[in-house]
Copies of this chain bind each other. A is one copy, B any other.
Amino acid sequence: MAGSTFGNLFQITTWGESHGKGIGVVVDGCPAGILLCEEDIQKFLDRRKPGQSKFTTQRSEEDAVEILSGVFEGKTTGTPISMVIFNKTQRSADYSEIAGYYRPGHADYTFDMKYGFRDYRGGGRSSGRETIGRVAAGAIALKMLSMMGISVHAYAKEIGGIAIEETDLEECFRNPFYMPDQKAAGKVAEYAEKKLSECNSMGGIIECVIKGMPAGAGEPCFEKLDANLGKAILSIGAVKGFELGSGFEAAKATGLTNNDVFRMENGKIVKITNHAGGILGGISDGSDIVFRAAVKPTPSIAALQDTVNKSGENIAVSIKGRHDPMIVPRAVVVVETMAALVLVDALMINMTAKIDKIINFYKE
């Protein structure tokens, strides 16, 4: 409840601060028998690694994961999987200055209000590095989903107000923005260059599409699949909004335009449109699940900003250090992995929805 644990049957607990000894996660409830090695995790961590282009922070973090428990003879054992990523550089010198004031747009002030003091080095627990544990755990969830024929793909839909016009998923890996549209990515590069030179930063929108999800996952009331996806995504540091399917556009629509009609197609029930975004009444309907997250601009900027210090004086500051001018590209994999955690948990819970399924399970 203190908030570092997420999920029910597939449950993760993350720990670690930006400049502490390391960052880690414990995955409890992972089923036994999954082939798992560090490379399965590492490839996802590498996608959120900084320093991949001039548009993400130039810090060189080598986030190498180590599996400490829960895997034996190459397979998960069903007992907790503990993973750690030791922080290679714990240089705290850069941060001594910010110990004394509250950075605008950061959690410095609220941490002090809540706890009385804070680990000010690099944002401590509120740093973006906190997501490393999420990604490591979510990588296992993604592997499980892929074994079940379910894919989860996120990408930058919009950065600095520049939106994609096509969705070529392979293009994502060819530009530094994780944008599935080469042309849009070009415009973003230009815009980002300009903002960088102004010591400024920019926001954007991440879209996520889930294919192959069976109907029936999610619970009717408070544990709706979309409510849990929303919580998962809104719990990522810089996310300020979440919408499913038509989302905020649905507010302007009418029932006739927004309802997705059902039709028979090759002997199967399908929806002709997908304004609902793949979830009806909180339960997956078998069509693609589509959602978007609004990501704010990086709050750490070198441009001069007003703020107050701990002595209660008005001051002006320029946040030094190597910061991302935009959060979106590195957050894409965080969105994918958080979504995967929600889906796996919902699929596991859904196994107990019908009595005949339970009886059959134990008959075998």
Contacts and interface: CB of A to CB of B under 8 A. Distances in A.
A49 B117 CA distance: 35
B78 A353 contact: yes
Given A15-B70, A230-B231, A269 B102 contact: yes
A215 interface: yes
Given A82-B24, A280-B107, A305-B256, A351 B355 contact: no
Contacts of A352: 9-10, 29, 31, 348, 351
Interface residues of A, number: 164
A262 interface: yes
Interface stretch (A39-47, A169-177, A356-364): A356-364
A318 B232 CA distance: 37
B115 A250 contact: no
A69 B15 contact: yes
A307 B262 contact: yes
Interface stretch (A55-63, A178-186, A218-226): A218-226
A104 B259 contact: yes
Interface string A1-37: 1111110111101111100111110101111111000
Interface in A288-320: 294-301, 303, 305-308, 312-314
A158 B253 CA distance: 12
Nearest to A118: B77
A25 to B, nearest CB: 9
Contact of A84 (B68, B104, B105): B68
Nearest to A301: B255
Contact of A255 (B13, B220, B299): B299
Q: How many monomers of this protein are in the complex? A: 4
Given A21-B68, A294-B250, A80 B116 contact: no
A246 interface: yes
Given A109-B262, A116-B32, A355 B144 contact: yes
Contacts of A347: 358, 362
A126 B78 CA distance: 12
Nearest to A202: B254
B296 A250 contact: yes
A32 to B, nearest CB: 4
A261 B104 contact: yes
A-B pairs with lowest CB-CB distance, top 7: A107-B281, A3-B219, A3-B223, A2-B29, A241-B243, A201-B255, A110-B283
Given A109-B280, A130-B221, A203-B254, 10 more contacts: A5-B5, A5-B11, A14-B221, A16-B68, A20-B72, A78-B115, A79-B119, A107-B281, A243-B243, A264-B312
30 contacts: A2-B78, A3-B220, A3-B223, A4-B219, A15-B26, A15-B70, A24-B82, A32-B114, A33-B354, A77-B117, A79-B220, A107-B280, A110-B285, A111-B220, A125-B221, A144-B355, A158-B251, A195-B254, A214-B362, A222-B232, A240-B245, A241-B242, A241-B248, A243-B243, A250-B296, A253-B296, A255-B300, A258-B297, A263-B306, A347-B358
